[in-house]
Amino acid sequence: MFVDRVNIFVCGGAGGDGCMSFRREKYAPRGGPNGGDGGHGGHVVIQAVEGLTNLAHLSHQRHWRAERGQHGQGSDCFGHGGDDLVIQVPPGTLVRDRDRGFLLRDLKAPGDRVIVARGGRGGHGNTHFKSSTNRAPRQVERGLPGEERWVVLELKVIADVGLIGLPNAGKSTLLSRISRAHPEIADYPFTTKYPNLGTVIAEDHNFVVADIPGLIEGAHEGHGLGHEFLRHVERTHLLVHLVEAVPIDESDPLHNYRTIRNELAQYSPKLAERPELLVATKMDVTGAEEARTRLETELGREVPGISAVTGRGIPQLLHRIVSALEELRRPEEDPPARPRPSATTGGAEPQESGLPPGVPVTDPAAGVQGS
């Protein structure tokens, strides 16, 4: 089961109560106060860890509470602090406050963490209240309760390449051919109901490809779970747009391409500007080559064709993807370095004095040179 959004209630541990105690020994029947402080409550921490791919392990438990601090004891013994409760999530998880709506943290990389509910402070024992005028204090503090809130965890799949297109465009079939992923494949639309990830090894390069469920017209408004699918494309570096050359429903491939492009622009203008490779799929079907040529003519760009069934064009497509990723990862060239100033000029550019060579230059403000 793939789960990419959960609501959980988190509560920090309560602090322990302070202790009221007095020293009572054989030769000190009225020794002063010695009540210890209560321990602090534990925090609730959400941390991104490598190896997790979705939030399914959190869907069966709604309430999470950290351990409370222990109460203080006599003989100045402080209570033990409560242990932190660490909730593990996959990298790419957004942590939001449900009621206030603001973003607490974007856990992009493994090891990123955020405290979502702090534990309560432990109460002071009666030792803290002794003074010269109050030698036997009977005041103690109770521990404070921990913070609590509802938190929304929203996963955005992190991948280098995102496969997008209309339903039944061949995205899952392509992923199964270029990686070891085994997505569900069938000859009807909306076979893929959640993103599938696969690691591809090509030309000594490793990159992660995400098979995004098919988008439809109106996806930016939430039609066909558009919002649930489109957010998984936001973190990809490169989009591979698959267009069925000869659609089964006899629709226009050019119109299908522009439909998806419009949905991306309506959802996020930045997403629409993401680098894209347009690929015509199912080239083993009659009339596919003519449709691919028409796409190239109408769009004025090269449109490679592939067939995930026969393997045609897949090595060339992988080469294009690797080249595009290398170009995106290449750092910008540094501007040419300026020449370092000469030590004799002290960092200033040499100026023309207008005097014959060998005649010393004097500063008018410094007076006449001495002999």
Indicate the residue type of 208.
Answer: V
Per-residue pLDDT band at 205 (split at 50, 70, 90): confident
Q: Does residue 340 lie within any of the structural domains? A: no
Q: What pLDDT is stored for residue 178 in this prediction?
A: 86
- CATH classification at residue 308: 3.40.50.300
220 — pLDDT class (breaks 50, 70, 90):
very low
Name the band, by pLDDT with cuts 50, 70 and 90, for residue 194.
low
Q: Which residue bears the tokens 């699918």?
A: 229
Q: Is residue 171 part of a domain?
A: yes
- In whole angstroms, what is the distance from residue 198 CA to residue 92 CA? 16
Pair (57, 180) in one structural domain: no
Does residue 365 fall inside a structural domain?
no
88 occurs within a structural domain: yes
Residues 216 and 245 in one domain: yes
CATH assignment of the domain containing 70: 2.70.210.12
Its domain, for residue 144, covers: 1-17+30-125+140-155
- 121 shares its domain with 262: no
For residues 234 and 271, membership in a common domain is answered with yes
If asked whether residues 294 and 256 sit together in one domain, one would say yes
3-state secondary structure the chain: CCCCEEEEEEECCCCCCCCCCECCECCECCCCECCCCCCCCCCEEEEECCCCCCCHHHCCCCEEECCCCCCCECCCECCCCCCCEEEEECCCEEEEECCCCCEEEEECCCCCEEEEECCCCCCCCHHHHCCCCCCCCCCCCCCCCCCEEEEEEEECCCCCEEEECCCCCCHHHHHHHHCCCCCCCCCCCCCCCCCEEEEEEECCEEEEEEECCCCCCCHHHCCCCHHHHHHHHCCCCEEEEEEECCCCCCCCHHHHHHHHHHHHHHHCHHHHCCCEEEEEECCCCCCHHHHHHHHHHHHCCCCCECECCCCECHHHHHHHHHHHHHHHHCCCCCCCCCCCCCCCCCCCCCCCCCCCCCCCCCCHHHCCCCC
Average pLDDT rounded to a whole number, residues 320-327: 90
Query: How many domains are there within the chain?
Result: 2
Please identify, among 294, 314, 329, the residue that sits at the C-terminal boundary of a domain: 329
DSSP bridge pairs for 33: 22
Q: Are 193 and 94 in the same domain?
A: no
What band does 188 get if pLDDT is binned at 50, 70 and 90? very low
Domain membership flag for residue 361? no
Per-residue tokens: 336? 């040419």
pLDDT band at 229; cut points 50, 70, 90? low
Q: Out of 8-17, 95-104, 197-206, which region has the weakest mean confidence (pLDDT)?
A: 197-206
Distances (CA, A) of 253 to 103, 222, 233: 39, 23, 22
Residues 170, 264 share a domain: yes
Q: How confident is the model at residue 346 (pLDDT cuts 50, 70, 90)?
A: very low
User: Using CA atoms, how far apart are residues 328 and 236, in angstroms rounded to an integer?
Assistant: 12
Tell me the average pLDDT across 55-60. 87
| Interacting residues of 100 by C-beta distance below 8 A, sequence separation 6+ | none
Q: In the prediction, which pLDDT does 328 show? A: 84
Which amino acid is it at 35? G
Q: Are residues 302 and 260 in the same domain?
A: yes
What pLDDT band is residue 29 in, cutting at 50, 70 and 90? confident
Question: How far apart are alpha carbons 177 and 307 in whole angstroms?
Answer: 10
CB 24 within 8 A of CB 34: no
Can you tell me the mean pLDDT for 212-227? 54
* pLDDT in the model for residue 331: 60
Task: Give the pLDDT band of residue 216 (cuts 50, 70, 90).
Answer: low
Q: Are residues 151 and 166 in the same domain?
A: no
5-11/148-155 β-pairing: antiparallel
Predicted local confidence at residue 142, as pLDDT: 92
Torsion sign across C-alpha atoms 168, 202, 283, 246? positive
What is the pLDDT at residue 345?
44
Structural domain includes residue 339 = no
Residues 212 and 289 both lie in one domain: yes
Residue 251 lies in a domain: yes
Among the ranges given (131-145, 182-196, 269-283, 342-356), the one the predictor scored with the smallest mean pLDDT: 342-356
Q: Answer yes or no: do 240 and 206 share one domain.
A: yes
Instruction: From 310, 329, 348, give the residue that closes a domain.
Output: 329
Q: pTM of the full predicted structure?
A: 0.69
Asked if the structure places residue 307 within a domain, the reply is: yes
Look at residue 104 in the predicted model and tell me its pLDDT: 92
Using pLDDT thresholds of 50, 70 and 90, give the confidence band for residue 344: very low
Same domain, 219 and 168: yes
- Tokens of residue 122, six digits: 């432990």
